[in-house]
A and B are shown apart, each in its own frame.
Chain A
Amino acid sequence: MTGRRRASGALLVAGAVVALAVGAATARSAPAGGAAAKAFPTGPVNLTMWWWGEQEAAGAKAWLAETVALYHKKHPNVTIKTVLQTTNGLVPAFKAAAAAKKGPDLQYFWGGIWSLEDAWAGSTKPVSDYIPAAELKHYINTAEDTYDGKVWTAGWYVQPSFPLLYRKDVLAKAGVAPPRTWTQLLAACDTLNAKGVTPLAGGISDGWFGGWLYSIIGAQGVNSVGDVLGAVAGKQKFTDAKHAAWWTRLQQLRDHNCWNKDINSVQLYQGQQKWSDGKAAMTITAGSDVKKFVTEVGVSKVGVMAMPKWGSGPYAGRLGSTSQTVGITAWTKYPEVDADFIMFMHTPERMSAWFKKTGAFPADDRFNTKLITLPQQKVLFNLVKHGAPYLENFIPTEFDSKANFAQAQLLLAGKADAKQAAQASEQIAARIRRTNRDLIANFATWSKSYK
């Protein structure tokens, strides 16, 4: 299960409803006063945590249950109930809770826009108000959850987004070396096709893959995240060369028949399954899933790398990195206890246990990297240490689904070319700028921290 199976609006209750019920469109800050100023409560404390992640980091559920039990031993008056959400239900359930202003005390958020949208709506309290800065600075990828000088959610585990996995056996049999540059990739596609092997396996029938591709291909063309935020806010255009280039690259992949023929009619996991079955040479997976795929196929047969390089921007050749996070809700009665639990999740013993159980990297630079034994994970970790921002986290979700998902589907189905896709993207962005005024103002402010 990948890291990006997000709510397809299944239950996506409007942030509008939130706006109606809650009113605020700008980030509300929690009362100043520094972390842990209050004494730890002595009476019974019952907390609820809504989370996601078992789907992309198998073993998370067991780890969390263990963590809660250990925390209870440490603080017998605190009981924490955890509820695993479905992929489609995570965001809508939270938005519904926010509208009713009651629900969990701790909430799981994907990074970037996924954390900030709810921060803007006033549904969360910034963790930087409750976790000391000295502690918070160890957490990885806090930059993408920072807005207006505050860190809103705390990293839990890192999601390398998204590595390319290749089958050493399949490539060797076809006499192809793992492609490091874009030119090599296109050449590999040609050779593999001649030998009757699918070069790259994917699936885009449910759209998500479009967002992945945008991020791992598109990041190479921009100079910084500020470019993307600026384009959203209207200061740049999505038809500008640096933003439109990725469509051209995607079209090249299509024209060289790099993808499986049924990419438009299957979902991503089904595409990845072809790779596991040896029918394709390469595929793209969630970083946290690498251990699973490697184990399935065989350690000696799998190689891991970042998307082949075509661009010269600062992110080219680097693996995207984002952290899945936990946040404190605005209506919780015990924010300090919430924060304390988050910090407990980051204690060394807990972090080691997390990695051992799930194979995903804790979002903490104090993590004991000696525990990484799987060679592919070592590669992954090194890539992520010098990771680049994950672009999809920096655009409005409406733009993501209308531009990236839909246009990628059309392009791969042969119904659109790169130029049309880029123009469509800009039109979509222009329309969103008109209809969603607050979002744009927020993006403009956000882009100020990325100069």
Chain B
Amino acid sequence: MSAPGALLANSVGPRRRRRRLHLGRAEPLVWIAPAFAVVAFVFGYSMVELARQALEHKGHWVGLENFRLTVTDPTFQTALEHNARLLLAVPVLVLIALLLSVLLFEALRGWRFHRVTVFLPYVLPIPVVAVIFGQMLQLDGLVNKALRGAGLGSIAFDWLGQPSWALWTMTGVIVWKELGFGVILFLARLLSLPAETFEAARVDGARFFRLHRYVTVPQLAGVIAFYVVVEAITMVSWVFNYVYVISNGTGGPGDATQVAELYIYQTAFQYSAPDLAAAAAVMLFGATLVLIVVFFRVQRRAGFIAAGD
């Protein structure tokens, strides 16, 4: 008997007549149905409701008025602008993650320890991270105390209190936390490459930067693209927790850390205007649709990261 057959026989016991459900061609759909039902409810119902709400005001049809009101809201424009600025962090993320993963790959002494620590921020809950940094980054907080102690008092700025710094600081915290994901992605890919990839270059006498620029990075192209897209999606759709906790829910100082998600949240839950929030949400979703398409193209190219090219 085939191995699986033996497996079956042993577990099923003496052969019994098993009544088989003939689902025929509909069978896959039966398997998919429960998951699909949940997803249809959570996403499908919500989006339909959202679209409906965006087109009404207190039950009356108002067409595109909510969209117009939202688009002309300077706060909304600022929020989108800030999301765009957050996207600037993505190349930074990629560069630093590449650097760190390469360093880890070289398997220097203690690299396993560093791998654990570098990934730790990614594991921490965002509320925790935001509270700690909120404390540390005050004008007289730990970071500035350290800077002043090291004689660098001139750059001990008001990291979270000054509007011109606040968004960059927020970006810094997000980078701090999201870096680990990239490092692990790249490192895993590197570890899965056959050793010969680097042999040839080494024999040719390639030094650190040349080697990595011309051999390593091209090998990682697919993963890098994947990481870029995932982080871009994060910067647009998944930064609410950071902004909310760091800015105490205000998006401040002033509007300095306002982002699309916070805008929607405030409009719906603080300012009692769910129709406007719905319009903003629909527009945000539209923007992410673009990312979805890109995401898919990238997926198809990268295969699925490490599993054999």
Touching chains A and B, CB distance < 8 Å: yes
Complex alpha-carbon distance, A261 and B138, angstroms: 11
Measured CA separation A205–B137 after assembly (Å): 12
Q: Contact between B69 and A436 (Cβ–Cβ < 8 Å)?
A: no
Instruction: Determine whether B250 belongs to the interface, using a CB cutoff of 8 Å to chain A.
Output: yes
Residues A205 and B253 in contact, CB atoms below 8 Å apart: yes
Minimum CB distance partner of A416 in chain B: B254
Q: Which residues of A contact B253 (CB under 8 A)?
A: 204-205, 264, 406, 409-410, 413
Q: Annotate A226-245 by CB proximity to B: 1 below 8 A, 0 otherwise.
A: 00000000000000000000
- For chain B residues 15-68, which have a beta carbon within 8 Å of chain A? 58
Q: A262-B138, A265-B139, A265-B160 are in contact. Are A406 and B272 (CB under 8 A)?
A: no
Q: How far is the CB of B219 from chain A (nearest CB, A)?
A: 44
Interchain CB contact (< 8 A) of B272 among A11, A16, A262: A16
A374 interface hit (Cβ, 8 Å): no
Asked if A435 meets B269 with Cβ closer than 8 Å, knowing A409-B252, A409-B253, the reply is no
A261 (CB) vs chain B CBs: closest residue: B139
Does B73 contact A10, Cβ atoms closer than 8 Å?
A: no
Closest A residue by C-beta to B274: A16
The yes or no answer to A15 lying at the interface (CB within 8 A) is: yes
Contact segment of A75-83, A213-221, A397-405: A397-405
Q: Is B248 an interface residue (CB 8 A)?
A: yes
Q: Are B138 and A10 in contact (CB under 8 A)?
A: no
Q: Is the CB of B250 within 8 A of A8?
A: yes
Kindly list chain B residues whose C-beta atoms are within 8 Å of the C-beta of A88. 249
Asked whether A207 lies within 8 Å of B273 as measured between CB atoms, the reply is: no
Q: Which residues from B are CB-within-8-Å of A11?
A: 269
Per-residue CB contact flags for chain B residues 151-170 toward chain A (1 = under 8 Å, else 0) read 00000001111111000000
Interface size on B, residues (CB 8 A): 35
Interface of A is mostly: loop
With A and B bound together, what is the CA distance between A406 and B258 in angstroms? Answer: 11
Residues of A within 8 A of B273 (CB): 14, 16, 435-436
Does any Cβ of A come within 8 Å of B229's Cβ? no
Q: Are B270 and A9 in contact (CB under 8 A)?
A: yes
A402 CA to B254 CA, complexed, in Å: 8
A35 contacts partner chain B, Cβ-Cβ < 8 Å: no
Alpha-carbon gap, A168 to B20, bound state (A):
90
User: What 1/0 flags go to A422-447 for Cβ under 8 Å of B?
Assistant: 00000100010011100000000000
CB contact list, B252-309 vs A, under 8 A? 252-255, 265-266, 268-276
Which residue of A20, A402, A409, A415 is within 8 Å of B274 (Cβ)?
A: A20
What residue of chain B has the Cβ atom nearest to residue A13's Cβ?
Answer: B269
Binding site for A on B (CB under 8 A): 58, 69, 73-75, 137-141, 158-164, 248-250, 252-255, 265-266, 268-276
